[in-house]
């Protein structure tokens, strides 16, 4: 795994082989290449099989972690993947993108004195093994209930709801605004971190289970939520994601060469612009690239820019390393690939030329002051610390807000003051009858697994409703 | 898949009309709204404002100029072929209100976008003077349709080969001089819209323009289509595509439209070379 400690550890975890940083920094192939069977066995054997496993408490969807790991160490991968599927419809995805270090692995008892079990790596191993060697046999499905469910959005939370409800016997249709399903898994997370063939396979799995998929369907435009009920749907789940890019709101932001991370990554991932001109969608190639922000999206954008041939890529972040929201592994991978971190640095304006193209930015050095509302120490500018930074491409990855496209067309569904959907915390019920919501459109931008956790809660509540009523 | 049921060439084959089966979009679409189209698997998502919709037939019509590889791919689709993806209706519909005398000004393929708006303006009870223009007579489109959609149609050509010899702005000025104009709608190339709004500012006549910046998703997610309107950043895809023309920063819009000029040229040339070789 990524983290390296100074002292040699007893009983170290089995590291997953990775492409060499120098090589991978210029290609789009997946970075970690996967465990061999032997490696997986060895790593699984490290699990203490705790009677009261703390790791499970750290998992938003409650995966039976000791259970599936035990099956790996017994060599029964078919049973292990079925154990995983019973709690998690997208193990190949979660094994790759979950922030395990603050969830399951963060609570692993082995981590107290040494390194925790590589739960994420083992989860990925099972899903990859099944894809390559499995029988393709589907999990059992309950008899048809005759109830119709519409899932709006095909990102992680929507796919979880669809997967849960289809096996419970409901008739599920997924509506996706883009031309391809997967939500953030296809437009946001790059190929080198989550190969699109894997996402396609997970979606194909749901289709084989009987889920119907309607792409190019913008709910709120092509069809409204109320019209879905008129069409005979009995319940609706809204998992459309946050989907409104935030910008810095500083002078010069509309210069050519400044893109939201959403746009940059959508071009690169969904539209496959990294293959331009073999595909038709272009993407700006920066020589000196600056990425604003330090979350997973920022790391994805920075690493994409490097792969597209940048000479230098800088992460510019106004707080310190400690506050960087990205997964430890992403930061580590980014630095290995030659991405520079400009921490405690904040841009104040963009600079451009007569053609309206970005040429640089003015930044201020910051220092940490008193804690702010988020509990993190507030970055404050150091007087007279202004300096200029050359850059011809800037990717703004400072978070997302609530996209009002669907919510503004669904007036009887209550929103909070930031425009996110108000839901019952336990069930995901909105204030509109027979409508649930979850994922980033409820919480604001978060992680894949939290969205899946919300999907799981909502699916349970929807199942109860379809059997018992609101 | 979205099948093409009718195809026409206009303006000496530089402008193409496609009528496309898209029943869900046709049912919902209102004047001023746009769709995003993608020809095939590796295609680019191209926003185009609809020129016509037919709820009963379940079709929408787009009219576009062939300018790059993506529109060349569209051009090469025949009747019976399909667009792989059509998404919509997107954007806000035109705000329609009876105001009195209204001028609708169109240039180039903007005339196609202007057509349903002009007709709707007339239907709500406005007295509609329509001014359309092109470089030369053979590049003029939809003259007959615009005549029917308005009360009074004036035609201009830059070279004087047909109608008034000069720009649409000259004729618009004359109509503005007659007085009592309550609103102007201008749709066409950015320099034309800029010129129109510069004049209507002098006459203090509210002016609506329809913008078509570069965008990817068309649902407010990417922010590629940002335009400065009255000093504020707006997303053309969800806040527009129509804006108060007196507040739009057209110079910035023009620079942003050129963002991928080099790439587009390269891609188009490559496509033409391959196509011609076949």
Asked if B33 and B235 touch (Cβ cutoff 8 Å), the reply is: no
Tokens of A161: 């709801």
- Say what the pLDDT of residue B111 is: 94
Contacts of B134-140 with CB under 8 Å at 24 or more apart are B134/B11, B134/B107, B134/B108, B134/B158, B135/B159, B136/B161, B136/B162, B137/B161, B137/B162, B138/B11, B138/B12, B139/B11, B139/B12, B139/B14, B139/B15, B139/B108, B140/B11
Q: Residue A65, preceding bond cis, omega within 30 degrees?
A: no
Shared-domain flag, residues B122 and B190: yes
Shared-domain flag, residues B84 and B109: no
- Say what the pLDDT of residue B270 is: 82
B105 falls within a domain: yes
Topology match between the domains A148-243+402-468 and A244-400: yes
Computed over every residue of chain B, the mean pLDDT equals 94
Under DSSP, is residue B208 helix (H, G, I), strand (E, B) or coil? Answer: strand
Per-residue pLDDT of chain A (470 residues; tens, 9 = 90+): 444 445 666 789 999 999 999 999 999 999 999 999 999 999 999 999 999 999 999 998 899 999 999 999 999 999 999 999 888 888 999 899 888 988 999 999 999 989 999 999 999 999 999 989 988 788 888 999 999 999 999 999 999 999 999 999 999 999 999 999 999 999 999 999 999 999 998 899 899 999 999 999 999 999 999 999 999 999 999 999 998 999 999 999 999 999 999 999 999 999 999 999 899 999 999 999 999 999 999 999 999 999 999 999 999 999 999 999 998 889 999 999 999 999 999 999 999 999 999 999 999 999 999 888 888 889 999 999 999 999 999 999 999 999 999 999 999 999 999 999 999 999 999 999 999 999 999 999 888 888 998 998 999 999 999 998 77
In this prediction, residue B272 has a pLDDT band, given cuts at 50, 70 and 90, of: confident
pLDDT at B40 over 80: yes
Shared-domain flag, residues B84 and B192: no
Q: Looking at CA atoms only, how far is residue A275 from chain B in angstroms?
A: 10
Rounded CA gap, A61 and A103, in Å? 11
Q: State the CATH number of the domain containing residue B36.
A: 2.40.30.10
Please state the φ and ψ torsions of residue B115, each to the nearest 5 degrees.
-55, -55
B266 falls within a domain: no
B78 falls within a domain: yes
Give me the residue from B25, B221, B259 closest to A243, CB to CB.
B221
Give me the residue from A244, A260, A282 closest to B263, CB to CB.
A282
Shared-domain flag, residues B223 and B110: yes
Tokens of B278: 């076949």
DSSP A420: P
Shared-domain flag, residues B85 and B106: no
B274 falls within a domain: no
- Say what the pLDDT of residue A222 is: 96
Q: State the CATH number of the domain containing residue B225.
A: 3.40.50.80
Closest Cα in chain A to B237 = A405
Give me the residue from A257, A267, A356 closest to B216, CB to CB.
A267
Q: Looking at CA atoms only, how far is residue A433 from chain B in angstroms?
A: 24
Which DSSP helix (H) or strand (E) runs through B72?
helix B69-75
Rounded CA gap, B197 and B175, in Å? 14
Shared-domain flag, residues B108 and B86: no
B226 falls within a domain: yes
Q: Supply the angle between the helices A448-468 and A156-167 in degrees, to the nearest 10.
A: 40
Yes or no, beta carbons of B223 and A262 under 8 Å apart = yes
Domain boundary among B69, B90, B111: B90
DSSP A270: I
Interface residue of A216, A262, A265, A270 to substitute, partner B, most B CBs within 10 Å: A216
Shared-domain flag, residues B242 and B157: yes
Yes or no, beta carbons of A280 and B255 under 8 Å apart = no
Which residues of B fall within a CB distance of 8 Å from A177? 87, 217, 219
- Domain span at B71: 2-90
B113-125 mean pLDDT: 95
- Say what the pLDDT of residue A8 is: 66
- Say what the pLDDT of residue A1 is: 45
Shared-domain flag, residues B118 and B81: no
Rounded CA gap, B87 and B29, in Å? 11
- Residue B41 has, within 13 A of its CA and on its CB side, a CA count of 1
Shared-domain flag, residues B54 and B73: yes
Provide the CA B255 distance to its chain's centre, in angstroms. Answer: 19
Tokens of B219: 């649902």
Q: Which fold has domain A21-133?
A: Fumarate Reductase Iron-sulfur Protein; Chain B, domain 2 (1.10.1060)
Shared-domain flag, residues B116 and B248: yes
Q: A173-199: buried (b, 16+ CB within 10 Å) or exposed (e) per residue?
A: bbbbbbbbbbbbbbbbbbbbbbbbebb
The total of structural domains in chain B comes to 2
Domain boundaries, chain A: 21-133, 148-243+402-468, 244-400
Shared-domain flag, residues B61 and B23: yes
Tokens 């919480």 belong to residue: A443
Rounded CA gap, B131 and B122, in Å? 14
Tokens of B165: 């010899």
DSSP A266: I
Shared-domain flag, residues B116 and B72: no
Q: Looking at CA atoms only, how far is residue A282 from chain B in angstroms?
A: 7
Closest Cα in chain A to B249 = A254
Yes or no, beta carbons of A177 and B217 under 8 Å apart = yes
Asked if B93 and B32 touch (Cβ cutoff 8 Å), the reply is: yes
- Say what the pLDDT of residue A11 is: 85
Rounded CA gap, A372 and B253, in Å? 38
- Give me the DSSP letters along chain B: -EEEEEEEEEGGGTEEEEEEE-HHHHHH--TT-EEEEE-STTPPPEEEE-SEEETTTTEEEEEEE--SHHHHHHHTPPTT-EESEEEEEESPPP-----SEEEEEEETTHHHHHHHHHHHHHHTT-EEEEEEEESSGGG---HHHHHHHSSEEEEEETTSSSSEES-HHHHHHHHHHH--EEEEEEESSHHHHHHHHHHHHHHT--EEEE-----SSSSSSS-TTEEEETTEEEEHHHH-SEEETTTB-HHHHHHHHTTTHHHHHHHHHHHHHHHHH-
Closest Cα in chain B to A254 = B226
Yes or no, beta carbons of A259 and B224 under 8 Å apart = yes
B252 falls within a domain: yes
Please state the φ and ψ torsions of residue A221, each to the nearest 5 degrees.
-130, -65
Rounded CA gap, A448 and A469, in Å? 29
- Give me the DSSP letters along A124-165: HHHHHHHHHH---PPPP-PPP---EEEEE--SHHHHHHHHHH
Kindly report which listed range (A85-94, B133-142, B182-191) carries the lowest average pLDDT score.
Answer: A85-94
Asked if A151 and A237 touch (Cβ cutoff 8 Å), the reply is: yes
Q: Looking at CA atoms only, how far is residue A1 from chain B in angstroms?
A: 33
Q: Which fold has domain A244-400?
A: FAD/NAD(P)-binding domain (3.50.50)
Rounded CA gap, A299 and A397, in Å? 9
Return the CATH architecture of domain A148-243+402-468: 3-Layer(bba) Sandwich (3.50)
């Amino acid at each position: 795994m990524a983290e390296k400690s100074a002292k040699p550890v007893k009983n170290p975890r089995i590291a997953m082989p990775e492409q060499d940083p120098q090589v991978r920094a210029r290609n789009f192939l997946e970075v970690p290449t996967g465990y061999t069977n032997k490696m997986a066995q060895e790593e699984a054997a490290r699990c203490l099989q705790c009677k009261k496993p703390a790791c499970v408490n750290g998992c938003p969807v409650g995966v039976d972690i000791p259970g599936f790991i035990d099956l790996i160490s017994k060599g029964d991968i078919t049973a292990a993947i079925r154990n995983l599927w019973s709690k998690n419809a997208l193990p190949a995805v979660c094994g790759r993108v979950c922030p395990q270090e603050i969830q399951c692995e963060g609570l692993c008892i082995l981590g107290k004195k040494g390194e925790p079990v590589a739960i994420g790596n083992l989860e990925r191993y099972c899903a990859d093994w099944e894809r390559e060697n499995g029988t393709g046999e589907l999990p059992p499905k309950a008899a048809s209930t005759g109830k119709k469910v519409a899932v709006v959005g095909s990102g992680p939370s929507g796919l979880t709801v669809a997967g849960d409800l289809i096996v419970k016997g409901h008739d599920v249709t997924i509506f996706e605004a883009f031309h391809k399903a997967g939500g953030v898994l296809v437009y946001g997370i790059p190929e080198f971190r989550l190969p699109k063939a894997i996402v396609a396979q997970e979606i194909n799995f749901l289709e084989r289970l009987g889920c119907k998929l309607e792409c190019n369907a913008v709910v709120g435009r092509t069809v409204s939520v109320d019209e879905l009920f008129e069409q005979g749907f009995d319940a609706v789940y809204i998992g459309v994601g946050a989907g409104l890019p935030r910008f810095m709101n500083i002078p010069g932001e509309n210069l050519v060469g400044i893109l939201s991370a959403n746009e940059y990554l959508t071009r690169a991932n969904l539209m496959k612009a990294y293959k331009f001109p073999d595909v038709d969608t272009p993407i700006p190639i920066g020589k000196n690239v600056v990425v604003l922000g330090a979350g997973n999206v920022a790391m994805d954008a920075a690493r994409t820019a490097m792969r597209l041939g940048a000479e230098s890529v800088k992460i510019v972040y106004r707080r310190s390393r400690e506050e960087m929201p990205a997964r430890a592994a992403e930061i580590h991978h980014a630095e290995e690939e030659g991405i520079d971190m400009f921490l405690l640095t904040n841009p104040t304006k963009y600079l451009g030329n007569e053609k309206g193209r970005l040429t640089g930015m003015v930044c201020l050095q910051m220092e940490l002051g008193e804690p702010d509302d988020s509990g993190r120490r507030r970055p404050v500018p150091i007087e007279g610390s202004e300096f200029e930074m050359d850059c011809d491409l800037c990717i703004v990855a400072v978070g997302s807000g609530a996209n009002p496209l669907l919510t503004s067309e669904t007036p009887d569904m209550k929103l909070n003051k930031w425009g996110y959907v108000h839901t019952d915390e336990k069930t995901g019920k909105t204030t509109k009858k027979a409508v649930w919501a979850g994922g980033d459109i409820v919480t604001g931008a978060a992680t894949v697994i939290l969205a899946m956790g919300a999907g799981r809660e909502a699916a349970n509540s929807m199942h109860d409703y379809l059997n018992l009523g609101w | 898949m979205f099948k093409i049921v009718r195809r026409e060439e206009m303006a000496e084959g530089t402008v193409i009309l496609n009528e496309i089966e898209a029943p869900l979009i046709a049912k919902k679409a209102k004047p001023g709204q746009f769709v995003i189209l993608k020809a095939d698997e590796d295609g680019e998502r191209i926003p185009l404002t609809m020129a016509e919709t037919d709820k009963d037939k379940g079709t929408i019509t787009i009219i576009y100029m062939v300018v790059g590889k993506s529109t060349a791919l569209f051009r090469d689709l025949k009747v019976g072929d399909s667009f792989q993806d059509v998404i919509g209706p997107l954007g806000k519909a035109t705000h329609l209100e009876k105001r009195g005398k209204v001028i609708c000004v169109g240039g180039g393929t903007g005339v196609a976008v202007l057509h349903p708006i002009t007709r709707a303006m007339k239907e709500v009870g406005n007295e509609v003077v329509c001014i359309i223009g092109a470089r030369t007579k053979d590049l003029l489109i939809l003259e007959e349709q615009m005549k029917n959609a308005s009360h009074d149609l004036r035609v201009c050509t830059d070279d004087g080969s047909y109608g008034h010899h000069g720009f649409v702005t000259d004729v618009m000025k004359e109509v503005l001089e007659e007085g009592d104009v309550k609103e102007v709608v201008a749709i066409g190339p950015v320099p034309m819209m800029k010129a129109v709004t510069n004049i209507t500012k002098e006459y203090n006549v509210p002016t609506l323009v329809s913008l078509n910046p570069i965008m990817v998703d068309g649902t407010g997610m990417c922010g590629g289509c940002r335009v400065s309107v009255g000093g504020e950043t707006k997303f053309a895809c969800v806040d527009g595509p129509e804006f108060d023309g007196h507040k739009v920063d057209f110079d910035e819009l023009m620079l942003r439209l050129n963002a991928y000029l080099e790439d587009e040229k390269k891609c188009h040339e490559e496509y033409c070379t391959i196509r011609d070789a076949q």
